[in-house]
Amino acid sequence: MQAAAGTAPRSDSKKAQVYPGSSDPKRAAFYDKISQHDMTPLWEVLKDLVTKEPKTLGVPAIWHFDRVKPLVEESGGLLTAQEAERRVLVLENPALRGQSRITNSLYAGLQLILPGEIAGAHRHTASAIRLILDGEGAYTQVDGEKTVMKYGDFVLTPNWTAHDHGNESKVPMIWLDVLDVPTVNFFETAFAEHLDDAVQNTARVDNDSTWRFGAGVLPDGTDTRMIRSPIINYPYERTRPILDRLVRTGDVDKHHGARVRYANPLNGGWSGPTMGAHLALLPQGFKGADYRSTDGTIFVCLEGKGQTRIGDETFEWSPRDVFVVPPWKTYAHKADRESVLFSISDRPAQEALGIWREMN
Ligand code: 1HN
């Protein structure tokens, strides 16, 4: 803690922490002495600082959609989307309560927008992905492009792009937001601003980016150096049939099933630099082999029914359930019926830093 300007630090405020070695009075006295100079002995903290294997703060957890949907709906009676700025119930990892994070690096929440509501235009350093879970027909507008969202659509809000949402349909819509907020805040680089118009004046044709970039061709002369995908909406109805093709040709991974990665069509990279996503089909009866990797992963069931064993706990899932696997925890999926799992993690950031690992 910092002393207020002009006040002397309390006499004990720079006392050393008690370490195992503090039981030796000579060492304890030395630790107190260097502590006055804001120094601490590395040999007392090294083992916690540089661990043999990842030390994960979060725990495995699941949010069953049919249990939390009524609570999300109830929030609709408390305040309007406009009052709330964004009406979201944050999914907090049970071991990280009060920190608005589902893993150490990622934020997740369930957002509700009722018919006739808007969530006004703003932009911020954090990037968002949205996975549409309930209702159909609300839109988001990103960077001057409007897209109407449907079940299973994977929608990007790249960093610093203007975005607003609105629901012109007759039914409430709920989607999962995942943002790299804890990552951005780790670097202490968060900026945000409101835009003058609550609803962007969309200058482009609806779904313009999906039309331009989503079919394996690129508009001639496209600059391909962008580190984030130019596509705003990867519609489920386009991605889902590809999984069936992978199954038919036997492209089923023993851990992940038949899986595609949401790619940046400009360079084959991830959809964005901080967060990456996959969509996987697990054939009926699939029994996945144990797997672990350093990227804590948020899964969402979009179809089917199954279980995922994470460490020594087993989580039963069905459509719209959200569950989280902490980094380096061993997990394996099983599918009772043909199932589709969406997943998202911070793997692109870890890869860029050269620290991502997996164990097959
Ligand atoms: C945000 O801008 C949205 O635009 C949702 O829908 C959730 C959580 C933290 C910070 C910004 C949105 C958010 C958010």
* pLDDT tens digits for range 28-48: 999 999 999 999 999 999 999
Domain that residue 29 falls in: 20-49
Confirm whether 258 is domain-assigned: yes
How many structural domains comprise the chain? 2
Q: Tell me if 14 is assigned to some domain.
A: no
Q: What pLDDT, on a 0 to 100 scale, did the predictor assign at position 203?
A: 87
Domain check: are 35 and 165 in the same one?
no
Of all protein residues, whose CA lies closest to atom 6 belonging to ligand 1?
A: 86
Residues 109 and 192 in one domain: yes
Is pLDDT at 129 greater than 70 in this prediction? Answer: yes
Residue to substitute in 72, 86, 87, 131 for testing ligand 1 pocket (most ligand atoms within 8 angstroms of CB): 86
Burial profile 110-127: b = 16 or more Cβ within 10 angstroms, e = fewer = bbbbbeebbbbbebbebb
Residues 235 and 153 in one domain: yes
Please determine, for residue 6, whether its predicted confidence score (pLDDT) is greater than 70.
Answer: no
For residue 243, the 8-state DSSP code is H
Q: Please tell me the pTM assigned to this model.
A: 0.92
Are 179 and 38 part of one and the same domain?
no
Q: Which among 157, 179, 185 is the best mutation to test ligand 1's pocket, defined by most ligand atoms within 8 Å of the CB?
A: 179
Pocket of ligand 1 (CB under 6 A): 86, 88, 107, 109, 111, 119, 124, 126, 128, 163, 165, 177, 179, 181
Q: How far is the CA of 56 from the centre of ligand 1 (A)?
A: 25
Q: What single DSSP character describes residue 7?
A: P
Instruction: Name which of 33-42, 203-212, 272-281 the model is least confident about.
Output: 203-212
Per-residue tokens: 321: 């359930």
Strand 173-179 with 107-113, pairing? antiparallel
* Residue of 142, 176, 177 to mutate, ligand 1, most atoms within 8 A of C-beta: 177
Query: Would 7 be classed as within a structural domain?
Result: no
**Please, which pLDDT band fits residue 12 given cuts at 50, 70 and 90?**
low
Q: Is 94 exposed, middle or buried (0-12, 13-18, 19+ CB in 10 A)?
A: exposed
Say yes or no to pLDDT of 5 above 90. no
210 part of a folded domain: yes
d(C-alpha 340, C-alpha 137), whole Å: 22
Residues 354 and 253 grouped into a single domain: yes
**71-88: average pLDDT:** 96
In terms of phi and psi (left: phi > 0; alpha: psi -120 to 50; beta: otherwise), the region of 152 is left
Q: What is the pLDDT of residue 265?
A: 96
Q: Are residues 66 and 42 in the same domain?
A: no
Q: For position 14, what pLDDT does the model report?
A: 86
The pLDDT mean for the chain works out to 95
Residues 145 and 270 in one domain: yes
Average pLDDT over residues 250-264: 98
Residues 6+ apart with CB under 8 A from 354: none
Residue 161 near residue 134 (C-beta atoms within 8 A) = no
User: Does 201 score more than 70 pLDDT?
Assistant: yes
